[in-house]
């Protein structure tokens, strides 16, 4: 064990950030325009837009609120300004209270209370500038790898994903876990057919919860009377050589490595355990990315065969290409080439070590391609209809 | 993890029914794994795609990574492209009653 460290931001609630963002987040889509205009006047803040926050009920509303609160309280965020309308389901002050309860610095304003669009923008600019001044006082200090939650993801998978990039990421995941860190394996529909391999490395209650999540996926397919194929695996996965969901899953599960499965958490729920954790997210890339980051992931490693450029507004997303052809064709979007494993120029372990080093460097502040290109992808997984 | 003699294909586990092409293979090309009988590729196989390294009976489960990846919808000859045209999934099949796949319920 190397006892690697990184230079991170220690937060008052005990978590450690690898970025120091000030986020302006609408509690409801009706505030998107005001948030956008605050961001144009104060370009150093991160603004988020989304189509959620109103006319939602039950578990769907709870999940939306949990995702916003978790995302706003991610340790990569120094402070957050919530902008509400005033009549939304997702009451902005209640959301701000939930964020504050997680130990995050938060301010909140409402468009109806402020007296309209321009008054809210003016007040929002003042608050955003103050939060940026406060954040500038935070400094990086040396932190151990056990403070890291690393999200893993594969998107645009192909026939090489399960041979090169995912096993190399799995080797890296084992290193993160060996140093006391946490690794999230998600996209549960892409564990269908591989769940037994994870369950045999889990305690009975954890295995039972994993099987329950897998059954939810197949129950949805039965309720719709559909074959998952062509929805997942997608047309692009199939063009890349993947034939069934089982085959895709067996390759995808490699990302988590070989350690014991310690916990299974809901979408956007923060893990309590260290080590390998499964989170219930869909395979849809942006919803998965948002869920893992709302669950506290500070860094994400994303493997791709077809070439997926996506990135988060608040967390570095490291791209690992499964094949050299795509790595060279989409060089500006990629960070690591795992295709070198089949080219014979590097071993799986060497690529895994490069991914591990990238995680540490990204935690220190180095920008992977998706971050340097300015991606701000954000989407909350809905589990019920709007009313 | 057996690599073919010329490095053109990979069979992930010894008892797998399929191998993965690591580069585009043209129809009629020959792939040899160690001392085994050569496999003649029946049609063009694109990189990342699979071909049968042994005959597969119709309805048989197909293994890759030493695990089940699906079921043959008809007989598959050695060297044939193994993909969506001749393999069905056995999971996530909400279009079929559970007993149609010979699987028990949850």
Query: In this structure, what CATH number is given to the domain that contains residue B85?
Result: 2.30.130.110
- What integer pLDDT is reported at residue A130 of this predicted model? 98
Are residues A157 and A305 part of one domain?
yes
* Cα three-residue angle A318-A321-A324, rounded to 5 degrees: 145
Structural domain count, chain A: 2
Query: Model confidence over A9-43: pLDDT tens digits?
Result: 999 999 999 999 999 999 999 999 999 999 999 99
Are residues A155 and A196 part of one domain?
yes
Single residue among A116, A136, A156 that ends a domain in this structure: A136
Sheet holding A275-279, edge to edge: A261-265, A275-279, A182-185, A149-154, A299-304, A317-321, A336-337
- What integer pLDDT is reported at residue B97 of this predicted model? 80
**Hey, is A169 helix, strand or coil?**
helix
Single residue among A103, A136, A169 that ends a domain in this structure: A136
- What integer pLDDT is reported at residue A230 of this predicted model? 86
Q: Is the pTM of this model over 0.80?
A: yes
Q: Please report whether residue A73 resides in a domain.
A: yes
Query: Model confidence over A145-183: pLDDT tens digits?
Result: 999 999 999 999 999 999 999 999 999 999 999 999 999
- Identify all chain A residues contacting B7, using CB atoms and an 8 Å cutoff: 344
Q: Please answer yes or no on whether B94 and A243 come within 8 Å at the CB atom.
A: no
* Antiparallel, parallel or unpaired: β A141-144 and B87-88: unpaired
Q: Please answer yes or no on whether B69 and A247 come within 8 Å at the CB atom.
A: yes
Question: What is this model's ipTM?
Answer: 0.94
Q: Please answer yes or no on whether B92 and A217 come within 8 Å at the CB atom.
A: yes
Query: A224 CB near a chain B CB, below 8 Å?
Result: yes
Residue in chain A lying closest to B21 (CA)? A159
Q: Please report whether residue B105 resides in a domain.
A: no
Query: A178 CB near a chain B CB, below 8 Å?
Result: no
| Of A194, A197, A244, Cβ closest to residue B70 | A244
Q: Please report whether residue B106 resides in a domain.
A: no
- Identify all chain A residues contacting B22, using CB atoms and an 8 Å cutoff: 342
Are residues A300 and A156 part of one domain?
yes
Are residues A209 and A130 part of one domain?
no
Q: Please answer yes or no on whether B67 and A197 come within 8 Å at the CB atom.
A: yes
Query: Model confidence over B51-104: pLDDT tens digits?
Result: 999 999 999 999 999 999 999 999 999 999 999 999 999 999 999 886 666 554
B2: pLDDT confidence band, cut at 50, 70 and 90?
A: confident
Q: Which residues on chain B place their C-beta less than 8 Å from a C-beta of chain A?
A: 7, 10, 12, 20-22, 46-50, 64-65, 67-70, 82-84, 87-96, 106
CB of A154 closer than 8 Å to CB of A302: yes
- Identify all chain B residues contacting A217, using CB atoms and an 8 Å cutoff: 92
Residues of chain A with pLDDT under 50: 1
- What integer pLDDT is reported at residue A2 of this predicted model? 59
- What integer pLDDT is reported at residue B106 of this predicted model? 38
Structural domain count, chain B: 1
Q: Which residue range is the domain that position A63 belongs to?
A: 21-136
- What integer pLDDT is reported at residue B104 of this predicted model? 45
Whole-number Å distance between alpha carbons of B23 and A343: 10
Single residue among A80, A115, A136 that ends a domain in this structure: A136
């Amino acid at each position: 064990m190397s006892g690697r460290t990184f230079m991170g931001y220690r937060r008052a609630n005990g978590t450690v950030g690898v970025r120091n963002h000030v986020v302006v987040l609408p509690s409801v889509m009706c505030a998107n325009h005001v948030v956008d205009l605050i961001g144009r006047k104060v370009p150093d803040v991160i603004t988020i837009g989304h189509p959620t926050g109103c006319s939602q009920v039950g578990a769907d509303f709870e999940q939306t609120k949990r995702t916003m609160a978790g995302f706003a309280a991610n340790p990569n965020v120094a402070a957050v300004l919530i902008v509400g309308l005033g009549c939304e389901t997702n009451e902005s002050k209640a959301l701000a209270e939930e964020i504050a309860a997680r130990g995050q610095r938060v301010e909140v304003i409402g468009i109806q209370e402020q007296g309209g669009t321009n008054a809210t923008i003016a007040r929002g600019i003042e608050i955003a500038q103050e939060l940026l001044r406060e954040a500038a006082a935070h400094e990086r200090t040396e932190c151990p790898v056990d403070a890291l939650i690393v999200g893993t993801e594969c998107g645009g998978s192909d026939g090489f994903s399960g041979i090169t990039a995912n096993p190399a990421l799995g080797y890296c995941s084992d290193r993160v876990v060996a140093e006391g860190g946490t690794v999230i394996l998600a996209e549960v529909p892409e564990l269908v057919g591989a769940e037994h391999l994870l369950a045999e490395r889990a305690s009975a209650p954890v295995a039972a919860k994993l099987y329950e999540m897998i059954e939810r996926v197949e129950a949805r397919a039965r309720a719709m009377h559909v074959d998952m194929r062509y929805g997942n695996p997608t047309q692009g996965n199939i063009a890349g050589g993947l034939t069934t969901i089982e085959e895709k899953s067996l390759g995808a599960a490699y990302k988590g490595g070989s350690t014991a499965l310690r916990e299974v958490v809901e979408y956007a729920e923060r893990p309590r355990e260290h080590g390998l954790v499964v989170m219930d997210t869909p395979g849809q890339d942006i919803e998965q990315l948002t869920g893992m980051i709302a669950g506290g992931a500070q860094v994400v490693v994303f493997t791709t065969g077809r070439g997926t450029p996506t990135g988060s507004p608040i967390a570095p997303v490291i791209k690992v290409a499964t094949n050299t052809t795509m790595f060279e064709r989409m060089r500006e979007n990629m960070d690591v080439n795992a295709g070198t494993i089949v080219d014979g120029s590097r071993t799986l372990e060497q690529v895994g070590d490069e991914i591990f080093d990238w995680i540490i460097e990204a935690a220190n502040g180095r920008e992977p391609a998706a971050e340097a290109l300015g991606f701000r992808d954000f989407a909350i997984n809905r589990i019920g209809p709007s009313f | 993890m057996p690599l073919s003699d010329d490095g053109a294909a990979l069979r992930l586990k010894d008892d797998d029914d399929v191998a993965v092409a690591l580069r585009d293979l043209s129809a009629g090309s020959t792939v040899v794994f160690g001392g085994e009988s050569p496999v003649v590729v029946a049609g063009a196989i694109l990189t990342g795609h699979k071909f049968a390294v042994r005959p597969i009976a119709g309805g048989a489960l197909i293994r890759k990574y030493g695990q089940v990846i699906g079921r043959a919808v008809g007989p598959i000859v050695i060297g044939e492209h193994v993909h969506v045209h001749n393999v069905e999934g056995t999971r996530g099949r909400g279009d079929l009653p559970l007993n149609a796949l010979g699987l028990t319920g949850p």
